[in-house]
Structure 1
Amino acid sequence: MSDLKAPTAASFFLYGRGSLSSSLFQWLSFHRFVHTEQILELDENIRPESLNEWLAIWRSQQAKSLQAPDGSIVFWIAAIMGVIAMSGLLAVGLGSPINLWLPLFLFAFLPLLMSLVTSTQLWRAETAPVTRKFGLLLKLLKLERHRDVLTESPRLMWPWLNWQLQRAACVFMVFALLTFFLVATFQELNFVWSSTFIQSSASMAQILSVIATPWSWMLPAPTPELVEAARFDTLGLAGEGTSYQSSQLWPFVIASMLFYGLMPRVALLILFRRQLKKRLTDSVEQSGTIEVFLNRQLQQVSQKALDVEESDAGIEHLAARVSESTSSLLGWRLSAGDAESRGLARNLGLDDWQVEAEWLASDAAVMPNPVRMMVGFWQTPTGELEDCLQQIKARNPQTELVLMEAPAAFTGSGTVGMAGEREQAQLLSWRYFAEKVTLPLVIEEAL
């Protein structure tokens, strides 16, 4: 089954409908479905032939069990907090100058420090349950009822929750900036500075120049004259002109908030999103959950469709003697001894694919008698064999698939109930494969 590969699953979960959050919670829901050994409910007429078809059926039946949460309430809370924080800061300065250090600390230096601390999560392999650190966020997102699912995948939930926090932090900063511009439109804002330890205006000008280094190429740092004019004691003794100069510090304040408050958050947002996408891709492609899901569904379908019972009554004379005189025999990757003893017209699957493709397209592939493809019972049904059988069947409508060297329980010398679980599972695989290629399945009876 060459089309049932992990990249197909990755494309289904990662590049299908919805956002990255939707993909994550769809995968968590799928992982939970497989982990609890659930089975899809299929109509009798439905026979999925590819992994995408199986996954589409699962999504239609089960994907709503765990949906991506609506984070709007978190973003609204962040927006309101940003408005309140900036309004409170500016309200202090209504009718009086605002200490320059307050907006720098609250909206530039403190967010920068928090961003640096959060960035350590990018390199730490977090395995602790997310409920310990993100309990409040999980409550706001209404995910507490899915606590058992979330704790199973900390490697995925840590970057996702950190990503959501950075999104909320960006909303906080954006609305704080919008509030600043709104207030500044209707009110003149004067920024001053004062310090017990920094007494020289020249030293303060140097400090502000260092702070302004990231954007100095497009916006110059405050000049020494402006810094001198914005000193609190100087402003108290100065006239209206100095007050006007101190109001010119607002570009520096905004630039500080953008470069130290907002941009690190945006960078972390991008990095956590990339980390989440990489981990989710690795989880889909390397976990083996897809194979477990597919094998369980295939086994269940075979069990229902073929209704294998404890006796050989359900085999409907699958055991048969293969006569060389009444049929044309082909083989699939049989040993040289088996091929010679059975007088095969051709032993396929061993030559170069181009050579075999030419033979299948030639007149030699049109057999005078009904064709029987001989395969070993313990071989694995593959997509390559399926393609070969489809080409043979197209030119020889009377084609059968014959299982060689089957256990005695499946031949005339025993009963199905005598077969072990492994033997019955192998027979189910071949019966499902035969149904897929729409060929009769025959078990060779020992001569």
Structure 2
Amino acid sequence: MTDHPLRLLLDFDACAQRDKGQAPAFLHRRDRKFALTCEQQGVEPTAKRWLAHINHLSGPGAGTPASADTLRFWRRINSGFMVAGSVFGLLTMLGLLFYDGGQRINITVILAFVAFQLLLALLTTVQSLAGWQPWRALLRRLRNNPESGVALKLQPVLMARAAHLGGLCFALTGLATLLVMVVLQDLAFGWSTTLETDASRYHSLIAAVATPWAWLWPAAAPDLALVEATRFFRAGAGEGSMNPARWGQWWPFIAMLWSTWALLPRVVLALLAGILIRHKARQLLASHPGMRALMYRMETPALDTGNEHSDASDLPETETQLQLQPLPESRILLCWAGAGEPELPDTLSAGKTLIASAGGRMSLARDRQTLEQVAAELEQQPWRSVLLVTRSWEPPTGELEDFLANAKELWPKGAQIALVPLAIRLDHEPDAHQVQQWLRFAKRIGPEFVSVSLLPAHRALPDIDGGVMA
């Protein structure tokens, strides 16, 4: 049931509820990264893959799926209806077939009871389609935890399936009881009614009811002679002319009547209820507010604007106390998202033992391999610094922040990374506002791990207070 639309909807709804407590920027970076990963792998970013991604991020031991409690509750409801239906089916058939040797088992009563069962089955399906919830008060008392809005919308179809499963067990045990009673007892069937009805009219009714199986089992479709021979009257009048051997010839009709008009409709409607649950779950998932927000986050690039406020009327924050640092000694150089193409300055590339690309067109698996390769190089070198070349005019992205977070986990303790933003023209320095966005980015990541440096050939830049940034 892992791929069942109902489980998928409940898990997605629970995850969307948890995400309401997260920062919008974090959600944007997380879901945008997931969309880019799916694009690189050539797969569609569906809700099922997104949930698998979230569970992977949570790691082992994160707990049972959010849908488990709701599904467990409905399994108990279904089991309760099935047990009750089995017991009542047994007792009902025993009552219908009660025979003490002094009276006949009235076929008319069995016909009316089967018609009543068919009517109940149809009303149950209509109730689910109309959204009527006559069981709401009972379900509210049975549940310890309040249902979510999505689960409440599913209650009519879920309850209809439980009722149909109960009716199916009722019909199955009733049929089994009938067959056992035919073997163990000498049952005497007949028909009678207070109304003035002749045998031909009654036979017409029996023939119409037996139409679905008359061609398959002719013995289960009583003829006019059997109808005329098994009519009994009140107070036993006229019974002396009846042939007792014919009283038991009705049981094939009763078995097929029960199977066709009581058991088969329950089977069909129970299957239909399962289809309705899947259809309803898909509809609710497609129209879920969290799904629309997720699609927006996956389709929109995550950029760092420098504005930590949620008010759109605020201007971006430009002040920071972090200063440029001298270019550190390092034998490792990383180029982020195509920075330094087509050729790196000699100042950066000279004397490097490892020059690699990351981000941009590189896959996440390739970035992971690059980080592991850098970690191995850092273990063998006296310097624990890594240079990361970026394009100064491009704002820092969430992908870069995730890359640096992974680097901090994989690299040896004490390792540092120096961001080196390059200008469009290598013989010019980046603009001051471009440098400031990288300083703010480094401050947010952590100055103890990330710093910002410029090429030695660049002229000193004025800082925000009018001084000089070395």
Alignment of 1:295-310 (within 5 A): none
Which residue in the other structure is 1:68 paired with?
72
Alignment of 1:372-387 (within 5 A): 385-387=363-365
Question: Measured at CA, do residues 218 and 90 of structure 1 come closer, stay the same or move farther in structure 2, by a change above 3 Å?
Answer: same
CA drift of 1:343 comes to 5.3
Q: CA RMSD in A?
A: 4.6
Pair 1:227 & 2:216 matched:
no
Which residue in the other structure is 1:249 paired with?
250
Which residue in the other structure is 1:109 paired with?
115
Alignment of 1:356-395 (within 5 A): 371=355, 385-387=363-365, 389-390=367-368
Letter matched to residue 224 of structure 1: L
Deviations 1:124-150 (A, max 9, x none): 4x3x6xxx411376279x32x23433x
Which residue in the other structure is 2:17 paired with?
35
CA drift of 1:81 comes to 1.8
Letter matched to residue 134 of structure 1: W
Give the TM-score taking structure 1 as reference length.
0.61
Letter matched to residue 148 of structure 1: E
In structure 1, distance between residues paired with 2:242 and 2:62? 69
In structure 2, distance between residues paired with 1:255 and 1:109? 14
- Matched-pair contact (CA < 8 Å) for 2:337–2:390: no
2:2 pairs with one of 12, 15, 22:
15
CA drift of 1:118 comes to 2.8
Give the secondary structure class of the aligned counterpart of 1:153.
helix
In structure 2, distance between residues paired with 1:49 and 1:344? 39
- Matched-pair contact (CA < 8 Å) for 1:329–1:343: no
CA drift of 1:116 comes to 2.3
In structure 1, distance between residues paired with 2:110 and 2:71? 39
Find the structure with the greater CA-based Rg.
Answer: 2
Deviations 1:261-295 (A, max 9, x none): 11111111111112212333454566364797999
Question: Measured at CA, do residues 120 and 291 of structure 1 come closer, stay the same or move farther in structure 2, by a change above 3 Å?
Answer: closer
In structure 1, distance between residues paired with 2:72 and 2:366? 44
2:165 pairs with one of 164, 167, 180:
167
In structure 1, distance between residues paired with 2:325 and 2:296? 29
Deviations 1:299-319 (A, max 9, x none): xxxxxxxxxxxx978x8x8x6
In structure 2, distance between residues paired with 1:136 and 1:223? 50
CA drift of 1:373 comes to 5.5
Give the secondary structure class of the aligned counterpart of 2:13.
helix
Question: Measured at CA, do residues 78 and 139 of structure 1 come closer, stay the same or move farther in structure 2, by a change above 3 Å?
Answer: farther
Deviations 1:52-86 (A, max 9, x none): 41466585166465551224333222222222222
In structure 2, distance between residues paired with 1:170 and 1:37? 41
Pair 1:50 & 2:49 matched:
no
Alignment of 1:432-443 (within 5 A): 432-436=402-406, 440=417, 442=419
Alignment of 1:106-145 (within 5 A): 106=113, 108-121=114-127, 123-124=129-130, 126=131, 132-135=133-136, 138=139, 142-143=142-143, 145=144
In structure 2, distance between residues paired with 1:52 and 1:385? 21
Which residue in the other structure is 1:87 paired with?
94
Answer 1 or 2: which has greater helix percent.
1
Give the secondary structure class of the aligned counterpart of 1:148.
coil
Long gaps (5+) in structure 2 = 23-50, 298-318, 345-350, 378-385, 412-416, 422-433, 436-460, 462-470
Give the secondary structure class of the aligned counterpart of 1:188.
coil
Give the secondary structure class of the aligned counterpart of 1:105.
helix
Which residue in the other structure is 2:104 paired with?
97
In structure 2, distance between residues paired with 1:320 and 1:50? 38
Deviations 1:222-252 (A, max 9, x none): 0111111111149852448622212211111
Give the secondary structure class of the aligned counterpart of 1:189.
coil
Which residue in the other structure is 1:423 paired with?
none
- Matched-pair contact (CA < 8 Å) for 2:107–2:191: yes
Give the secondary structure class of the aligned counterpart of 2:243.
helix
Question: Measured at CA, do residues 267 and 255 of structure 1 come closer, stay the same or move farther in structure 2, by a change above 3 Å?
Answer: same
Question: Measured at CA, do residues 200 and 406 of structure 1 come closer, stay the same or move farther in structure 2, by a change above 3 Å?
Answer: same
In structure 1, distance between residues paired with 2:127 and 2:326? 67
The structure whose RCO (Cα within 8 Å, separation 6+) is larger is 1
- Matched-pair contact (CA < 8 Å) for 1:371–1:399: no
In structure 2, distance between residues paired with 1:432 and 1:49? 19
Long gaps (5+) in structure 1 = 1-13, 41-47, 297-310, 334-338, 347-366, 376-380, 408-425
Letter matched to residue 223 of structure 1: D
Letter matched to residue 31 of structure 1: D
Pair 1:400 & 2:392 matched:
no
Question: Measured at CA, do residues 93 and 223 of structure 1 come closer, stay the same or move farther in structure 2, by a change above 3 Å?
Answer: farther
Give the secondary structure class of the aligned counterpart of 2:388.
strand
In structure 2, distance between residues paired with 1:292 and 1:152? 17
Give the secondary structure class of the aligned counterpart of 1:178.
helix
In structure 2, distance between residues paired with 1:165 and 1:441? 66
Which residue in the other structure is 1:45 paired with?
none
- Matched-pair contact (CA < 8 Å) for 1:115–1:265: yes
- Matched-pair contact (CA < 8 Å) for 1:167–1:269: yes
Give the TM-score taking structure 2 as reference length.
0.58
Letter matched to residue 176 of structure 2: L
- Matched-pair contact (CA < 8 Å) for 1:222–1:249: yes
Question: Measured at CA, do residues 332 and 83 of structure 1 come closer, stay the same or move farther in structure 2, by a change above 3 Å?
Answer: same
In structure 1, distance between residues paired with 2:258 and 2:228? 22
In structure 2, distance between residues paired with 1:119 and 1:216? 28
In structure 1, distance between residues paired with 2:283 and 2:387? 42
Question: Measured at CA, do residues 67 and 227 of structure 1 come closer, stay the same or move farther in structure 2, by a change above 3 Å?
Answer: closer
